[in-house]
Every structure is written in C-alpha cells, then in structure tokens.
Amino acid sequence: MFDQHPYQQHKSLTIFSVFILLLLGAALALAAELPYGGWIQIPLLSILWWRFDSHPSPSVKKQFALGLTFGIGYFVVGLWWLYISLHDVGGMNALLACMGVFLLSAYVAIYFSIATLAIPLFKKNRFTGLFLAASWVIAEFLRGYIFTGFPWMGFAETQFTGPFALIAPFFGGLTCTFLAVWASWELYQARKHRASSALLIVAAISLTQFAGLFTFTKPIGEPISVRLIQGNFEQSLKFNPQAIGQQIDFYAGEITKKAANLIIIPETAFPWPIPNLPIGLLNYLQDFSNSSDSNVLVGLIGEVPGELGIQYSNRATGLSPNTPAYQYDKAHLVPFGEFIPPGFQWFVKAFHVPMSDFARGKLDQPPFAIVRKGQADIHAAITICYEDVFGGELASRIQHSAQPVNLLINMTNLAWFGESQASTQQLRLSQLRSLETGLPALRATNTGITAVLGPDGKVLQALPEFTQGTLSTQVQAYSGKTPYVIWGNLPILGLSCLLLLWGLIRHRRF
C-alpha cells in the first residue's frame, strides 16, 4: 500500500480534532443537566485543555479555531430548544430554523474561543490558569452586554451544583466561573505538579465551603400566603382567539377562587394588549383584590407611547388592595423574539410571530409592594423570563432601590421551547440569583418549572412540569444585602483585568 501523503495525514488529523472538540463541547453541555453537573464539568474542561495541548505551539488563529469548534459543540447542544420556538411554534422552515440555531451558537462560541487565546498568548507557567480564568470572565461579561447580551449557558449557573457556588453571595456568578476554569486548568496541570495542584484545588474548595457559613440576609415579619398558578397552555394556541379566551377565563377563575397575600400568574398569561382584554376584566380583579386583601400579579401585554405611536410591552401588572395599579415593563428584551435588531426584518417575517418588537422598560423600575393589612409592606423585585440571566442588573436594581427588596419574583412562559431542558436551565439561573442576593424567589410559569426557592437557592416546593395546577404555600420574606448586591461584578472584573495586565507585562518581559 502507498503511504498517505503528509497533507492527507494532516487533514485527517484535523477532522479528528474537530470531531473530538465538538464531542467535548456537547459532553460539557450535557453534564450541566446532571445532578452534580458543576463538579463534572471541571474534569471535562481539563480534558479540553489536554486536547488543546495536543496541538504543539498553536498559533493564535489556530487556537481561535479550536476554541470556536468546542464552543459550537457546547452551544448547539445547550441551545437546541430554540429550534422548537423557531420551527414548531414560529412556523419557520426546518432548514432555516437549524441554521438559526447554528448561527447563534457560532456567535456566542466566539466568546469562548477568544477566552482560550490566553493559552498561546501567555507563555505556559504556573500562572496560566489564572490568566485563562481571567480572560474567560471578561469574555463572559462581554457576552452578557454586547448587542444587548446573551449570556445563557454560562458555567456560573452550573456551579450551583458544583464546588464553588457558595462564593456567589460574596462576588457573584462570574467568580464561580473564574474558579471553575482555574480549577480545571490546575487539574490538567496535576500531571506535572501533583502535590501543589491538589493542594491549591482543595484549598480553594475548602475556602469556598467556609464562606458558606456566612449569611447576610435574615427573615423579616410573618410568612405570607402565596398562590402560584400554572396554566400549561400550548404556545401554538397563543394567537388563537378562542383559545386565548379560554386561557383568560381559566386564570381569572383561578385567581378569584381563593384569597392569598400574593397570587401570581405567568408571563403573558393574558396574551392580548390591555385594550383588547374582556371589558371590565382588570376592574373585576381589582375588586377581588380590594375585597379579599389579596395582591395579584398578572402577566399581560401593555401599551406605552413611542416615537411612532403606541408600542406594546411585556408587562407585569400588580393589583393591591385599595392601591393604584403597579406596572413593570420588561427591560431586557430577547433579540428577535421581543425586539428586532437593525437589518433583520427578513428574519422576523420568516418567524410569523405577531408583536415581536416590544418597547423596552427602564432598568430602575421600583419593586412591587405586597400590601398586608396591619403589617409593613413587603417589596419584591420583578423579572420577566430571561431577565433572570442578568445577575449584575438585578443586583444593581436591588442596591439602588428606594425601598428595601425582600423577595424575588420571576414570571415566565417557556411553552415556546416544548419539552426541553430550557426549563431546568432557567431554574438554575433563578437559583443562582437567589444565592447571589440572599433572597427567596417565586417562579410563576406557564408550563414549568413553577417553584418556591429559599434564600440559598434551594427548591422548597415545585409543581410538576406540563401540568395544570396551583402551588399554594407560605413564603418567608428576608431583609438585608449580600456583598454581591453592594459591589456587583466590580471585584471579579477588576481582579481579572489586573491579572490580564500582569500577564501581558510578563509576556513582554520574557
């Protein structure tokens, strides 16, 4: 047999490397869904560094390609459920929907690949893990802000089930990301520095567990009675007038069935703009609130004045006893689903979804006051759907709120994504937000996961997914602020910038 030409050998090795990196990315995304996913991801990441190291002295261009390949495998598996909203619900052509998922995955994978450039840019030494972790934090931070941000599927929320979660109340989820990436590099380096790497990893985990002994918030007042209503209505019926009428009747009936200090229905549970709702519906619910001393939080489509006339908004309307109605308009909108980036009108036309260009609410909207007869009000910070992914914004809102925030509320409709892991992914985000802020959280969703979380992020009670029901319980409000609420991401971003600056200075010197 003739020997393979060197070019063919190089090409086959490249194809093999691409396959392995895609597989590693997919495995890392799947690990996030496992009970101890945050622990499992660390050794998987160390395998990734080993694979990168199998390419001797990679150029910056080659390292970028390797990181991009890994990131595409990670995000395609982690975000595949977008296909359901594009194709099954939105009616988009299957090929175009697959292309949409792939292109978004490739875009967010760019940030991963940029982060891995720390490996060839800085000469490998005992500090490489710190430089890599710092670059990863900066890349993740930018991923959450450039083009309005899409930081979904970061390592931070997976660390809720990992070794570094308990540092979140001090320095936030990005610090969890920093430690996870650093620990994975140290684990990889254990082949050369067994004793020191093992000692450093054990010390970091031990210090993190010790940090968990500190608490910064405390219970306040008597527990409140809460009813969370899960309708389980298919998204495909969302724009069917008859189905909408049935949905509104269900939620109105469930709200008025029994009094509670706080009753919450999901995001856009009333999916028509306010003027199109049944005549007198909101007045009827306000009368129920007045007569039963119940606070009701309703997800609907609001209207706000805009430069070109009236615009729709994704709104939470609060009705409290003998009090003017409260409103919160979603501030962080979903690209393509809730606002149209310039130049992408063609994409939205292919999506076939009405009301896909909402007005943006302000970031400094006040919390919702839960009025109780004879007792002090409890204030809740509202987030709608994927706003839960922006921990820094939520912390800033709590820190600068004129009233102290005692509770988190997330109103969500994940029927867009069918029976996928999207619901468990968002639950982990809510858990991380509770842990960061030290506040309990209520999640009212259409198809799940409707749940009550403690101030440590642990699930206290939950309804089964894809069932229609009501979660009735007692919830204890908390007061106080964690260091993360006060400082936000400033400490970890400052540390990461200093580390990268140090790395650049060392690189030039040596």
Catalytic residue among 140, 186, 254, 330: 330
Active site residue 458: no
In whole angstroms, what separates CA 465 from the centre of its chain?
Answer: 19
Catalytic residue among 140, 254, 385, 387: 385
Nearest Cα residue to 437 out of 222, 220, 169:
169
Paired with 444 in beta bridges are 411
Residues 109 and 75 sit within 8 Å (Cβ to Cβ): yes
Active site residue 257: no
Residues 411 and 197 sit within 8 Å (Cβ to Cβ): no
Q: What is the 3-state secondary structure (H, E, C) of 126-170?
A: CCHHHHHHHHHHHHHHHHCCHHHCCCCCCHHHHHHHCCCHHHHHH
Peptide bond between residue 449 and the one before it cis (omega within 30 degrees of 0):
yes
The long-range contacts involving 348-357, CB below 8 angstroms and separated by at least 24 positions, are: 350/92, 350/93, 350/96, 351/86, 351/90, 351/91, 351/92, 352/90, 352/91, 352/92, 353/89, 353/90, 354/239, 355/273, 355/301, 355/312, 357/311, 357/312
Q: How many CA atoms lie within 13 A of 286 on its CB side?
A: 11
Active site residue 267: yes
Tokens read off for 448: 């799940």
Write the CB contacts of 180 (distance below 8 Å, at least 6 apart in sequence): 38, 41, 42, 45, 155, 158, 159, 162, 164
Catalytic residue among 140, 186, 267, 338: 267
Q: Using only C-alpha atoms, what is the Rg of the chain?
A: 24
Q: What positions carry a catalytic annotation? A: 267, 330, 385
